Amino acid sequence: MSQSLFDLSGAKALITGAGRGIGRTLAEGFAAAGADVAIADIDIEPAGEAKEAIENMGRKCALIQADVTDMESAERMVIEAAAALGGLTILVNNAGTNVRKTLWDISEADWDRILDLNLKSIFFITRRAGEEMKKAGGGKVINISSLMGWSVFRNPRQQCYGPYTSSKSGLIGLTRVFAREYATDNIQVNAICPTFIETELTASLQEDELIYDAICERTPMGRFGQMSELVGPAIFLASEASSLVTGTSLLVDGGWYAT
Ligand SMILES: NC(=O)c1ccc[n+]([C@@H]2O[C@H](COP(=O)([O-])OP(=O)(O)OC[C@H]3O[C@@H](n4cnc5c(N)ncnc54)[C@H](O)[C@@H]3O)[C@@H](O)[C@H]2O)c1
């Protein structure tokens, strides 16, 4: 199989929530595969290093400060990314969060914050980005959902994933909706559903031995994932290699869902 199937040269990628964590790792991975990248984040300060690393690879990198839950800010983000990169062919909806509380401690504000960020914002961003992709003759949308969109895990501290699982399951559905909407526009829309990955978002889980051990025990491969282990699956879904793949959700879960 030719390497060029996975080549992202000429691609123009916008990644949300890429100031740190998984988004940042994907931004650097896409640049290494040949793409120019726009990094968007509500907190753009930490992204300076990523910009330098990407530019050192000979790729363009734009930093865009945006709150994706603010519709005006989100629309401006898409327009600015397309202007900076000279078009848009890849969108990674990565910005997302969780709350770690018990069933009765979760507030209405928690619910709204998680659903607004993890699900609602993605509908409006994808709709707007789709217009840029149509102008470019096609594109790829990758939604970062979660294993928790498929599976319910009640950890030993009784943390309830109600809003998180609802948002990530909803995102799997929204992925199918956009796949159908854009099926004849040469835009493929897919989701990645990672297991627990070592990032700042899961720092409290990694530090709590009871939870950490329970997760590792539940996972056939016996460990958390690394951010770098999401780069390959994302490049597959961002590249020509996945030209007939749309509306699917790719579990990257160390075998969790197989058992
Ligand atoms: N870490 C995991 O174990 C894991 C597992 C499955 C799925 N995911 C998903 O992967 C994505 C990234 O997770 P991560 O672990 O890298 O998280 P993270 O908290 O390390 O990074 C999230 C980034 O999103 C940004 N962000 C937050 N709110 C924003 C907003 N309103 N507008 C723009 N940017 C905003 C943050 O500033 C941060 O840079 C999330 O959608 C998460 O749900 C993570």
- pLDDT for position 2: 56
By the 8 A CB rule, do 182 and 249 touch? no
Ligand 1 atom nearest residue 73's Cα: 32
Q: Got the DSSP string for 60-108?
A: -EEEEE--TTSHHHHHHHHHHHHHHHTS--EEEE---------GGG--H
Consecutive H or E run containing 3: none
- Name the one residue in this structure whose structure tokens are 């530090």: 207
By the 8 A CB rule, do 90 and 11 touch? yes
Residue 66 C-alpha from the chain's centroid: 16
- Name the one residue in this structure whose structure tokens are 């994808």: 126
Ligand 1 center to 4 CA (angstroms): 30
Q: pLDDT (tens digit, 9 = 90+) per residue, 97-131?
A: 999 999 999 999 999 999 999 999 999 999 999 99
Instruction: Tell me which residue has its CA closest to atom 43 in ligand 1.
Output: 96
- pLDDT for position 81: 98
Whole-structure pTM value: 0.98
**Can you list the residues of the chain whose pLDDT is less than 50?**
none
257 given a catalytic annotation: no
- pLDDT for position 11: 98
Q: pLDDT (tens digit, 9 = 90+) per residue, 117-169?
A: 999 999 999 999 999 999 999 999 999 999 999 999 989 999 999 999 999 99
> In angstroms, rounded to a whole number, what is the distance separating the alpha carbons of residues 71 and 97?
18
Cβ of 24 below 6 Å from ligand 1: no
CATH of the structural domain 3-250, one choice from 3.40.50.1580, 3.20.20.70, 3.40.50.720, 3.40.50.460: 3.40.50.720
- pLDDT for position 215: 98
Question: Which of 97, 205, 207, when mutated, tests ligand 1's pocket best, judged by the most ligand atoms within 8 Å of its CB?
Answer: 97
| % of the chain at pLDDT higher than 70 | 99
Please give the angle made by the CA atoms of 65, 251 and 123, to the nearest 5 degrees: 40
Q: Which two tokens stand for residue 124?
A: 């409006």
Cβ of 170 below 6 Å from ligand 1: no
Kindly provide the residue ranges of all beta strands, DSSP E only, lying in the chain, ordered along the sequence. Answer: 12-16, 36-41, 61-65, 90-93, 139-144, 187-194, 249-252
- Name the one residue in this structure whose structure tokens are 């959700």: 249
